[in-house]
Amino acid sequence: MMKIKCFIVVIFACYCLGDDTSLNDLIAEIFKTDSSTPATPIQPIHPTQPSQTAETPKEKTKYESCGIQKECVPRWLCANDTINTSGENIIDIRFDGTCSNYLELCCEIPNKKEKPDISIEPIDRGCGYQNPNGVGFKITGAIDQEAEFGEFPWMVAILREESQLNLYECGGALIAPDVILTAAHCVHNKDAKSLIVRAGEWDTQTKVEIIPHEDRYVKEIIYHEQFNKGSLYNDVALLFLENPFNLQMNIQPICLPNIGEEFELDRCYATGWGKNKFGKEGEYQVILKKIDLPVVSNAKCQANLRETRLGRHFILHDSFMCAGGEKGRDTCKGDGGSPLVCPIKNQPNRFKSAGIVAWGIGCGEENIPGVYAKVSYLRPWIDQKLALRQVDSIYFTP
């Protein structure tokens, strides 16, 4: 989704309006739910009824044997000298050990626990709080800008039900328990009843994270009345869900900016499961990626974009903002709708939604920033639609 070398995959993969004719085939392979199969190759998921709450299986979980009186269990369920009993475990996502899944540990059966020590109770701590060290465990070996589990708790995946599969459409951000902020180009002319929003997701190839993800059906799609599907002006949409998400450590809303607020020269984060490079060679990501990008002024961005195939008469619309322009660091195809979040001054590890991944010219090219829908410009429209549906502003107000 993003790339540090070719790391574009990440978050706001500038919808890149590219020529990938096999886009649907590629994104159909991202999200699967069966944790019993190897992490590769990636397989499509077979959807089930989205859960209302995270349920604990009634049947006793069966674990893979890894020796005499030993089983491969989630690392936070093994109380021995190799990990912390607090649940704050250090996990190498590149580790190739005894167990087939890096989130599992070969544990002596007497040391096996039924529940993790970390609390997974519902919690509402206010919008925009990042979990910089993750939730329940911290990863090492993150050489491709993988995010920590639960690091960006507002990040969601928007999926589409089709032929008994859940196909990945794009990213989005939670702004209230039952409201998602995304790009209009992601959901324009889509049937709301065919869409599912997944929150709390991280590694799309496993279900053994310490806190499971949750799915909700979409009840209503609203996109900006002046959205232009050709130029992507006013590229903003709201998804209203059939049922609210349960707010917990890995599922929390992002704050919204003030009307007209600027983030020029800030370094901000984009996140997502998009491609790691532009073109047919690019691959969609399994683990959520993150990348920090500088916000670029609209004047400089317009000047840079005029040096591309857009030509010297190109005018950057007021509903856009720009970030990036650093070689090999960008969002890319598949990151559309994902949030660009910028730090709240004097509040460490707290963020506002500044942009929504919209489009770009290629991915990760030097001096060619990615283009995002500007949330502070679009805030009056967002406020109007939320007020009509009586959504409490407490969820997205810092």
C-alpha distance from residue 391 to each of 176, 179, 394 (Å): 8, 8, 9
> Contact at 8 Å (CB) between 372 and 11?
no
What is the domain class of 266-375 according to CATH? mainly beta
Per-residue pLDDT reduced to its tens digit, 192-251: 999 999 999 988 887 778 888 999 999 999 999 999 999 999 999 999 999 999 999 999
Give start-end residues of each CATH 2.40.10.10 domain in the chain.
Answer: 266-375
Say if CB 160 and CB 167 are below 8 A apart. Answer: yes
pLDDT tens for 122-176 read: 777 899 999 998 887 777 665 668 898 899 999 999 999 888 788 889 999 999 9
Per-residue model confidence as pLDDT tens digits over 13-22: 333 333 343 4
Q: What is the pTM (predicted TM-score) of this model?
A: 0.77
- Cα radius of gyration rounded to whole Å, the chain: 20
Q: Which two tokens stand for residue 98?
A: 């005894």
User: Would you say 344 and 228 are in contact if contact means Cβ atoms under 8 Å apart?
Assistant: no
For 301-327, give the DSSP string: HHHHHTTTTT-TT----TTEEEEE-BT
